[in-house]
Structure 1
Amino acid sequence: MTGVALAEELLLLAYDDESGKATMPRISLDLGMAAAVLIELALAGRIAYADGNLVVADPTGTGEPTLDEVLARMAVDTPHTPSSWVQRLRHGLRDRILGDLVARGAVRDVEETELGFIHVHRYPTADASVEEDSRRRLAEALADGQLPDERTAALATLVAVLRMEPALGLTGDAARDARVRLEEIAGGAGFSGTVGLDASVVRPSVALVVTALGAAVDAALGKRA
């Protein structure tokens, strides 16, 4: 596997380019990071849903360090439900992925002190090309009535579940219309709703992670009106 990880795309969308601050609640972002890693592993054929749990189907590394660390952890751990894995993995993933983005030059790590003793970090954009590609693909998916490629559909699904329409610069009626379209994409790709195990191995695995993420976000933020 090469290129930009799904969790990296999601994280770049979630941080303001200039201020370098998260534009959404940290808890939902942390949950989203965990779900993004699980979804990417499922799409790569490394994990699958079996007997109520997510299990390692292929322990071969992907070449992405963060994904491979999670894969190795899952391989030696006892099986857990999608909901359990989303909660287990959310701690520390955001900082790890931010560190990777700093290392590759996509964002800068700006450390500041508030109130004289509180250290905070901002991550303004250093190389906009990665995020520009993600935004372009999402914009095309929103404007086009066709189902986008699998990776863009996965990103659109996460944006919808995490309530990230404002990160796309959308508010009011435009945000509501975008949410409907994003949910259409998620359903059309088989990444939400009911997908039978006889249809594919990947789709149920992803759909169950998405369901678990949605429930966790609702519990943290309250159900969306």
Structure 2
Amino acid sequence: MTGVALAEELLLLAYDDETGKATMPRISLDLGMAAAVLVELALAGRVAYADGSLVATDPTPVGEPILDGVLARIAADTPHTPSSWVQRLRHGLRDRILDDLVDRGVVRHVEETELGFIVVHRYPLADPSVEEDTRLRLAAALAGGEPPDERTAALATLVAVLRMEPALGLAGKAAVDARRRLEEIAGGAGFSGTVSLDDSLVRPSVALVITTLGQAVDAALGPRR
């Protein structure tokens, strides 16, 4: 791990640095963070796809509280499909990750009241270094050249499925080109398309979570145009 979880990187990309508000539909962000946690655990060799379910193959903590909490939950529960886990984990996950980022000084928590009675929570950026690293890695991946490392490829895959090109500051043809490149990265890393369980336990596990995420996002937002 880089010290920053994939779900945290997604969240930082999805929130405006100045206003501290989400710039994408929260339902897709919540689904994406749940998928990101499962992807990270698969990459760490802690969970894998087996007999139609995503199961804990190694309950050893990875040293990140949110990931370890999910791992313990998967290990203690009956087996569930990747789709079931994505839906089960998305509830409340964003708040836990935001609280963790606040505690670490990455974002600030600002509570305001609008119209006299509506409580609004904002999370403007406090320490830009984490998000800067994320954006630099994605920019290098989009630029081509050497294939990105495994975690960056996983992040690029999640960004593509969640339709987060605008969060990268891209629109129009640039966004279309970026999406194409992100999808190329996903395929090249074995995180999308058909991947054999005989070749790898990690990649089909990740690919199935990504497929589940794509279906959930399409159901929530409608097919991508």
TM-score (norm 2): 0.99
2:91 is aligned with 1:91: yes
Structure 1 CA distance, aligned partners of 2:187 and 2:16? 29
Q: Is the 8 A contact 1:142 1:182 kept in 2?
A: yes
Q: How does 1:92-171 map to 2 (within 5 A)?
A: 92-171=92-171
145-154 vs 76-85, which moves further: 145-154
Identify which range, 137-146 or 155-164, moves more after superposition: 137-146
Displacement, 1:115?
Answer: 1.5
Cα drift, residue 117 of structure 1:
1.1
> Once the 2 structures are TM-superposed, how far is the Cα of residue 111 of structure 1 from its aligned partner?
0.4
> Which residue number in structure 2 is paired with residue 38 of structure 1?
38
Residue 181 in 1 paired to residue 181 in 2?
A: yes
Match of 1:73 in 2: 73
> What is the CA distance between 1:198 and its match in structure 2?
0.8
Q: Which runs of 5+ in 1 are unaligned?
A: none
Aligned equivalents of 2:207 and 2:64: distance in 1?
Answer: 23
**Structure 1 vs Structure 2 CA RMSD:** 0.8
Identity of aligned residues (%): 84
| Cα distance change of structure 1 residues 155 and 2 upon mapping to structure 2, 3 Å threshold | closer
Structure-2 separation of matches of 1:33 and 1:137: 19
Once the two structures are TM-superposed, the CA of residue 146 in structure 1 deviates from its matched residue by 3.1
Confirm or deny: 8 A CA contact 1:56 1:74 kept in the other structure: yes
Q: Is 1:210 aligned with 2:205?
A: no
Does structure 2 retain, via aligned residues, the 8 Å contact 1:19–1:124?
yes
1:49·1:55 contact (CA, 8 Å) conserved in 2? Answer: yes
- Contact between 1:34 and 1:93, CA under 8 Å: does it hold in 2? yes
Query: Distance between the aligned counterparts of 2:62 and 2:116, measured in 1?
Result: 43
Aligned to 1:120, the other structure's residue is in SS state: strand
4+ aligned runs moved over 3 Å, structure 1: none
> 1:2, CA displacement in angstroms?
5.8
AA aligned to 1:108 is R
- The count of corresponding residues between Structure 1 and Structure 2 is 225
Q: Deviations over 1:26-65 (max 9, x none)?
A: 0000000100000000000000000010000000001100
8 Å Cα contact 1:108-1:125 kept in structure 2:
yes
- 1:2/1:63 contact within 8 Å kept: no
CA distance in 1, matches of 2:208, 2:57: 16
Give 5+ residue unaligned stretches, structure 2.
Answer: none
- State TM-score, norm by structure 1: 0.99
Distance in 1 (CA, whole Å) between partners of 2:14 and 2:200 is 31
Could you say what secondary structure the match of 1:154 adopts? Answer: helix
CA distance in 2, matches of 1:39, 1:157: 10
Displacement of 1:192 in angstroms is 0.7
